[in-house]
Amino acid sequence: MRALRRALAVACVIVSVIVGGNAMAASGDLLNAIEYYYQKLDHYFVTADAHEISALDAGMFPGWQRTGFSFKVLDPITAVANVSPVCRFYGSPAAGLDSHFYSASPSECNLVKQRFPGVWLFESGNVFLVGLPDPANGHCQSGTAPIYRSWNGRTDSNHRYTTDPTVQQSMIARGYIAEGYGPPSMPVAMCSPGTAAAPPSCSLVTNDPAPFVGSSITLNALCDGNATTYTWTGCTSTGSSCIATSSITGPRTYTVVGANAVGPSAPASLNVFWSALPPPPVCNVSVTTNSDRPVVGSLAMLSAACGGNPTSYQWVGCSSSSATCLVRGTTPGAQIYSVIPSNAGGAGTPASGTVNWQAAASPPPGLCSQYPSILYSALDWAQVEVHTSAYVDDPAFAWNGVWVIKFTVAPGAISGSSGRLTVFEFGSPATTRDSTLSSVPCDFRPTDPSGANGPLSRSNGTTTTNSFVIGPSMNGAPGLALGQTYYLNVRNVAIENGASSCSAALRRCDALVTLVP
């Protein structure tokens, strides 16, 4: 935007000279304030200046594209009553900004000057004229339409301006903060002139289109044309929002009619399907440590893999409100950590993971002594996934280390059924990996389908998959025995030359493993 601002200023000076210094539209003209978007910055920009619009549309500033939205404003030299000049500021890149800010409030314009000198650079006190809404209720005068303003809330501070209530609602849903006068749900910043008097046009949205019975949802009527009254069907309210609930399952239709001084809108309806409460969630807990027998003081990562879409997690013996909990051992011995998941249907049965804390370090298991470090995960026989990125202690899944994933085939697993273990890229540069399925930890010997002198199977690539069957091997997939413990061993290596595929400078290359039994 810095380049845009400089070049637009030059372009405006050049055109002003050509036309004899008069770069304004004729007094009394209504202008279109055109909106543009720059995807790389995720920034919006609006302008009613003909020279800025011409330069942007001509592609002088690659990356800026019209959004298709605009709104009416008055030429800055228009002499009419009940309008307010709009000031414009430019956020200095030296302050981490690169954006423009508009306000029709004289007090807000002065406040920006006072509070942010050298940060928000004053460009003009009158780029165009608009109306100001009633500061108490946000209503615009008859013949004008609300202009909504939303702020991204980020350090690069960018605002979006729109007269479309649906657009404003979508920005709020993205996390933008609505700014202006009137109700907090849909405040109004400015008023667009030149809108012919007409009944309002309304649409209806909800914060939850598929709620559970017994819960509550909020219905919002998004109306232009300065609607002053609202008539609801299926919900009780006299305002622009309504709280609805249901004790029975199935579809319900809600309708609202907004009205202004001209008349009522067409009915706006919304179908909502009320669902039965789900069963409580069921979880399995996986445990990841830096050894098969972790030492007191080291880190354990507990990961809950749950069905039933939990909305909350209550851990016992570990402090967290998410599906992952990190804990350090304080005393030697076996420690059980549990999680109770909950959803709208209630609390599920506690799921547990055990960590056997050691007073002193033990020799690495299997063939792991030949590697600088291991990250060790123990999975239940269930559909689970584990991310190494949540394990915060170095070396974790080190660039030159091994990730060992232990699992035991359930005694009741169905003979002839199949499953797979897949390792995916997760939050790291593309990393080629060697994954083996073996009865021995850190087993990267040549593959031996019998499993006696090497791993049962091997898979290579940035995504690896080791399939298996329960019972005798079948169709090239190794067979796993009921009640037997196996290990998926993963290392960051290029198979063709044996060199590490993860840069030492990165220290670690994180991944994600899924077990589908």
| Contact in structure between 458 and 447 (CB atoms under 8 Å) | yes
Closest CA to 402 of 359, 440, 429: 440
How far apart (Å, rounded) are the C-alpha atoms in residues 425 and 247? 45
Residue 122, SS3 per DSSP: strand
Q: Does residue 370 sit in helix, strand or coil?
A: helix
Residue 429 pLDDT exceeds 90: no
Place of tokens 């090497």: 454
pLDDT tens figures, 109-122: 999 999 999 999 99
Instruction: Output the pTM of the full model.
Output: 0.59
Residue ranges and CATH numbers for the domains of the chain are: 2-192 (no CATH), 202-274 (2.60.40.10), 282-516 (2.60.40.10)
Q: Are 438 and 491 in contact (CB under 8 A)?
A: no
DSSP code for 432? -
Two tokens at 302? 């507990």
Distances (CA, A) of 428 to 177, 421, 507: 32, 20, 11
**Exposed/middle/buried for 194, CB within 10 Å: 0-12, 13-18, 19+?**
middle
- Over 70: is that where the pLDDT of 3 sits? no
pLDDT, one tens digit per residue, over 231-243 is 999 999 999 899 9
| Centroid of chain to Cα 291 | 34
Q: Which of 142, 22, 32 is nearest to 77 (CA)?
A: 22
Nearest to 436 by CA among 498, 489, 514: 489
CA dihedral over 303, 306, 309, 312, signed as positive or negative: negative
Average pLDDT over residues 450-471: 96
DSSP state, 87?
E
Which residue stretches of 58-142 are H helix? Answer: 106-115
Which residues is 259 bridged to in the sheet? 229, 264
| Confidence at 23, pLDDT banded by 50, 70, 90 | very low
Average pLDDT, the chain: 90
Condensed to tens digits (0 to 9), the pLDDT of residues 152-161 reads 999 999 999 9
Determine contact, residues 141/183, Cβ cutoff 8 Å. no
Q: How far is CA 362 from CA 142, 290, 295, 357, 413, in A?
A: 80, 11, 8, 11, 33
Separation CA 267–CA 199 (nearest Å): 12
| Residue type (1 letter), 371 | Y
